[in-house]
Structure 1
Amino acid sequence: MRLRISTRCYTVTSKRKLTTGLQNRLSNVFIPPYIASRVDGGMVIPFFQAESRLGTRIASQTWVSASGTRNVIRKQLIVLTTSGIYHVLPLGLRVQEKIERIINITMASLCASKLSLSTLSSSKLWKQTGRWEKYGQELFRLTDRKSSEFCLCPTHEEEITNLIANEILSYRQLPLRLYQIGRKFRDEKRPRGGLLRGREFLMNDLYTFDASEAAAMQTYDAVQAAYYRLFKTIGVPFVVAEAESGNIGGDKSHEYHYLSSSIPEFGALLTIGGEDKVLVCERCNYAVNTERSSSPQCLQCGSQMHEKSAIEVGHTFHLGTRYSEALGAFVTAEDPSIRSAIQMGCHGIGVSRLVVAIADICRGSRGLCWPVSVAPWETVIVTAGQEEGAEQVWDLLKDYTDSVIDDRQKTLGWKLKDAEAVGYPVTVIVGHSKG
């Protein structure tokens, strides 16, 4: 959406400089260069350069739809440093931090306490749960100078359960809900899809602990409701599908998916389109992962199910006592002579994965179309040199919207194309009105 605001024309010098005022300015933001290519009926569409001056490849490509139409996304979000490992650039980091803010608010609604667990985990814990061998080659393993074995955590069930086993002794200390937003590592055989399937990624983990299975089921339902609110807040349509628990284990599991068109890989930097397949009933909205059920009939209403490509962005698991029994996390009941294993749940949201998934879903023929909730900035103020007028508009908007001034020494037309490619929800044009 564009808004035009008339103001007097002010002259500015052409020399670029860092500005230390209170206003957010794009001239102060590191944004890699790009080159322009004329395609699709003469429309000028921006591309990133394949290589920067630092020698790193820019993680940006054109997306090619099934119909052959090029939807070119100016990806100023991530930079590939080596296979499966990326640096997050300033615009991408702003999107990521806004997602984290929504997660923190959601976790607070669940009365969950935030903590930070160590990335390094001892092999002793993983061997106790049987996952040291079961995880296979995807687990990054290392040995210290004393020949002690460790791993870089792809998930933290072992560490959180060991912590609780040493600190929680009575049912009176339950229920308990703990969460973190931290880095995970997985030695992917074939890293692909940018941050969709990388070797290092950012996750939100929520771990829940209850004294009984009935209480654990109530907690599971509360987490599902909170996740529903979270994804509604982000504003991208999603489906909730019944799923298998996989390596984590447990007997109840749901996945949260963004439905995506099936779009082929372009250039091996970004795999666009869904990695998962889900069956969706258009009549009652029931959904199930094809790994759990391949029945063409809806299990709830009997209608025809339709297979969709999807990107998994969240998952909830009821673990039961799998980890608590293995690692000795027991609590006493009202009768001190009775001890029972803690009922656990683990729930995750792919934070860095969400950045790429939202970009994949929210795109058009001219660039990205960020939801207001996670856009790098909600509003960009574009001007052809009237810097003082742009500052006045920024001051007017600062209490109502997250704004940035595009004060770079470029033409108005260039800035408007750039704003469209980046995908700011609102563009405000400040200029002189001849009328």
Structure 2
Amino acid sequence: ENDIKNCLHEIRIALLEADVNYKVVKEFINSVNDKMQQEKISESLTPTQQIIKIVNGEITSTLGSKQLHKNFTDNQVKSLFEKYSKKEIKLNYILQMLKIKRRRFFLLLTKYRKDPDGFSIQYERSTINRKIDPDIEKHIIKELKIEKNLIEAKDVPIRYYNYSYIKDLLEQKYCQRVSLPTIIDRAKRNNFYFLRPKRKAHDREVITNYPGELVQHDSSHHLFAPYAGSKWYLITSIDDYSRLILYAVLVERETTWEHILALEAVLLKFGFPLAYYVDSHSIFRFVQGRDSFWRNHYRLTDEVNPQWKQVLDDCRIKVTYALSPQAKGKIERPYRWIQDRLVRTCYRENIRDIKEAQLILNSLFRKYNYRIVHSTTGEIPYIRFQRAIREKRTLFREFRIMPPFLSTKDIFCLKVD
């Protein structure tokens, strides 16, 4: 209530300063105040937006609409044109009354003189609003049905409709451009819509200042291709500063060797980063359980280096461990984007082989890197990454084989003590 009073006070002062008649201002404020008290709280509008909407409506009703056909009838305008033709009224008075420009007036006058009986100022649309091509509507419903089948499948990691994916699919597959609100509208009409539960607010920020300062590395185990019948692992590395995906590969089994191959691919192409950021998976870290009466511990946490970490030690790259799932949020979000679209595409393309799925994955992470504007950085990952490289703001070091190693095979390998 205090906010409404303060707002009305500011509106009153603004109108009086604009030399609006005091009586008109008083009536206007009273009308706005009544409507504010009666207006229902809208979930889609903030209180400020609701006030602006009410004030705008009152101004329109007080001063009249800018559209001629909403302020005057056909007969009223005809009467003015007749008087003007007989030189009974001057042009300036008509322009002030109708609130139109000279050009608009003479266009209407010409139209009136051509057909006085059939003259009308009513606006007629040449196209029907809110109608889309039947083929487009058919394709939207078809894709929404497929989405529903995916959501209902228990083993598939899909829980919600992805309308943005359908929008992209319609353009790529059918060459049909449709707005996102239109797709959501058709989903609501045909019962392909439900609200997502509200998630806890999460602060998204870039904690690094340079490419190569931190590379996040992780794997995800899901049924990426529903028709394949078996789950695969998605191994991914991402640069924290630019959000550029450096590596993305599907494998049938998660092994130390597969993660060493991921290191080899990233380091040979981009160089040595300052640090890697991983979870406490046994491939990345030796973690000893708590002491017990029945067990003697001969090795404590981090006293043994797994094979994967030995490779990073040989390359003089630091390893940082995430102590909670929330700490790995930045790599989880790209996972969700790629995983979501990978599953949907593999399902629609009837993919059963991991090599075919890898081709789809390659196209997805190219799109993510080169075309998608990241929600946190506000930039395309590749452009952000390359700009920093050109400005020589990078912590990636040139890859060099250091003694006692003679080739890359000596570094990226499984070692035996």
Query: Which TM-score bucket, shorter chain as reference?
Result: under 0.3
Q: Hey, which of these two has a bigger chunk of helix by percent?
A: 2
> TM-score, normalized by length of structure 1?
0.21
Q: Hey, which of these two has a bigger chunk of strand by percent?
A: 1
Structure 1 or 2, whichever has the larger Rg, is 2
Which structure exhibits the higher relative contact order, with contacts defined as CA atoms closer than 8 Å and separated by 6 or more residues?
1
